Structure 1
Amino acid sequence: MSEPTGAARRRGPFQVGDQVQLTDPKGRHHTFTLEAGKNFHTHKGSFPHDELIGAPEGTVVRTTGNTAYLALRPLLPDYVLSMPRGAAVVYPKDAGQILSMADIFPGARVVEAGVGSGALSTYLLRAVGDLGMVHSYERRADFAEIATQNVRRYFGGDHPAWRLTVGDLQDNLDDTDVDRVILDMLAPWECLEAVSKALVPGGMLCCYVATTTQMARTVEAIREHGTFNEPTAWETMVRTWHVEGLAVRPDHRMIGHTGFLLTARRLADGVEPPLRRRRPSKGSYGEDYTPPGGAGRKSAADSPAAVPEGAAQGGEPAS
């Protein structure tokens, strides 16, 4: 049985064409591609690439300036943060949440819109495997080209599960029986109709947005569309710790806000989403509230979400 695409590049001795990540004594990283006969140069001296070719991972090399560097293959989080960029990349903390909370499984059929520099595409392809499908849509041809080169560099060539289309998702989406849709774009609410038609019942929609305004409009548009269950919205933050002897404390720097994630499940055809049973906060749908369509204002009395199920039937509001 042949190995999955890219697996051979993740183990064994270093080979020509491998990506190598060097770590210096201060923890700084340098990433380069192994080429026979070439030299790696820093302000701390140089050493020949041939010294690493055929050597195992975890090898320590010394430059002509006698500085030691630890040589390892970069992990996928390292790779996406150091690769050439056209657009900002999806940070590893958010990519990990997408893979987990959107339940990306081996063999899944996934549609992705907003490929950017190819970071999330690489995560998705590694998760679905050779027998899955990732169809990525990108409006800008220059971003699509950068993403293509980054994905090829990581896997060592074209991935059999990847298809990339340059154009708008809502104008070009021709996939059916899709298990998961990931939207990383400015206005995901514009794609809900196309996405709803493509997703299988029970399929997952996951949106990655940058601002609270985008998050609010996307959530309300999903509710209004009527083919999804109640959406969930959240963000993640990562804080590393300094651990040395008795000096154990959180680091002064952390990866804080990068974006918000929203998920919702596709309902079966013809099914209406259940009424929300919780009472909205006071003022949630007041005079200043503008519905997703942007037409006019809506008061609390006009909003179905503002009426708990029990009250709608003449009984007491649900707790």
Structure 2
Amino acid sequence: MQSGFSTKRVIIGPDGFKKVVDIASPNKVGLPNGQIDSTELAEIKPGNSFEIKDTVYYVLNCDTYDYVMHYLKRKTQVVYPKEGAYILMRLDVFPGKRVGEAGTGSGAFTLCLSRAVGPQGQVYTYEQREDFYKLAEKNLKNFLEFDNVIMYNKSIEEGIQERDLDAFFLDVREPWEVIQIVREALKPAGHLGIIVPTTNQVSQTLISLEKNSFYISEVVEIMMRKYKLVPERLRPKDLMVGHTGYLIFARKLGE
């Protein structure tokens, strides 16, 4: 699966305005005080500006963060950047790795895995629900840089085709039910990451990990507090990003 991720652009303007658009789609791009044609927008090099009614806007390349947070269509809660970057580190994901994932959901974290393993790596992602699968497929085609993702429209309860994976990430309702199946797909000492929204799910998952000979390295919750971008009155924003999920990390023991 491969696509032209380079057709996405970010438009930024006064008062925190931000909009992600696809310059490959012929249309009028709506702005707070007017419009610009997407073909005209395509002629503006990233980093440069344009003006509409005395208002200056800048054009930037779209990065993974802006695509996931401001463009990607979703029917599920996604793995947010504050968790995503930490998961990649804890699973030791880097170029050339072979990584599995279930479920795909809307495909947000699949994109992160694809970028992390690079063109020499491979991502295998499983999604049981057909509507989620089709949405994720569209989201991935809109932004994938590398042809390194294989998608399955099936539950991993039916089995994981791959073996000797370097790492696996689980984002399913009852992860404790599939720990043994994931274990069979991992190489010795392979990394496993799991995200769940409630503490009782954490408890059930820990019990299953112990029964299936995993070393449990960590259970963690990540919170994030942003600051208002006013140098003269620098202080935290009134609202912060609190709980979005509990992360569990483990490694396979034995053969």
TM-score computed with the length of structure 2 as normaliser: 0.92
- 2:240 corresponds to which residue? 254
SS in structure 1 at match of 2:14: coil
Q: Which residue of 1 aligns with 2:251?
A: 265
Residue 208 of structure 1 aligns to a residue in which SS? strand
Distance of 1:172 and 1:107 partners within structure 2: 24
Answer yes or no: is 1:44 the counterpart of 2:30: no
Residue type at the aligned position of 2:228: H
Q: Which of 61, 64, 69 does residue 57 from structure 2 map onto?
A: 69
Structure 1 residue aligned with 2:88: 99
Q: Give the TM-score taking structure 1 as reference length.
A: 0.74
Give the conservation status (yes or no) of the 8 Å contact 1:223–1:231. no
Aligned residues: 253
Q: Say if 2:9 and 2:23, in contact at 8 Å, map to a contact too.
A: yes
Q: Aligned with 1:143: secondary structure?
A: helix
Distance 1:172 1:77, change over 3 A: same
Percent identity, aligned pairs only? 32
SS in 1 for 2:250: strand
| Aligned counterpart for 2:204 among listed residues 194, 211, 217 | 217
Cα-to-partner distance string for 1:128-155 (whole Å, 9 max, x where unaligned): 1122111100010111111111111102
Kindly indicate whether residue 156 of structure 2 is the aligned counterpart of residue 169 of structure 1. yes
Q: Which residue of 2 aligns with 1:79?
A: 67
Please report how far the alpha carbon of residue 164 of structure 1 lies from its aligned counterpart in structure 2 after TM superposition: 0.7
Change (3 A) 1:48 1:201: same
Q: Deviation at 1:70?
A: 1.8
Change (3 A) 1:37 1:86: closer
Q: Determine if the alignment matches structure 1 residue 189 to structure 2 residue 176.
A: yes
Cross-structure match for 2:116: 127
- C-alpha deviation, 1:267, in angstroms: 0.9
Deviates more, 1:118-127 or 1:68-77: 68-77
Between the aligned partners of 1:131 and 1:200, the Cα distance in structure 2 is: 18
Q: Which moved more, 1:179-188 or 1:237-246?
A: 237-246
Residues in 1 aligned to 2:93 and 2:127: alpha-carbon distance in whole angstroms = 20
Aligned 8 A contact 2:159 2:181 in 1 = no
1:170 aligned partner, one-letter code: E
Q: Which residue of the other structure, out of 149, 170, 179, is the alignment partner of 2:138?
A: 149
The verdict on how the C-alpha distance between 1:61 and 1:101 changes in structure 2, with shifts beyond 3 A counting, is same
Residue 219 of structure 1 contacts residue 231 of structure 1 at CA under 8 Å; is this kept in 2? no
Counterpart of 1:233?
219
Q: Which residue of 1 aligns with 2:16?
A: 27
Paired residue for 1:304?
none
Larger Rg: 1
Aligned to 2:186: 199
* Alignment RMSD: 1.9
Q: CA deviation at 1:47?
A: 2.0
Q: CA offsets per residue over residues 243-299 of structure 1, 9 Å max, x none?
A: 534422222121111111100011122xxxxxxxxxxxxxxxxxxxxxxxxxxxxxx
Structure 2 spans left out of the alignment, 5+ residues:
none
1:110 matched to 2:93: no
Q: Is the 8 A contact 1:206 1:262 kept in 2?
A: yes
1:277 aligns with none
Shift in Å, 1:36: 7.5
Q: Deviations over 1:83-140 (max 9, x none)?
A: 1112221111111111111111211111100100000000001111122111100010
Offset at 1:43? Answer: 4.4
**CA shift at 1:22, angstroms?**
1.2
1:9 CA drift (Å): 5.1
Higher mean C-alpha displacement, 256-265 vs 45-54:
45-54
Counterpart-to-counterpart distance in 2, 1:37 and 1:164: 30
In the alignment, residue 99 of structure 1 is paired with which amino acid?
Answer: L
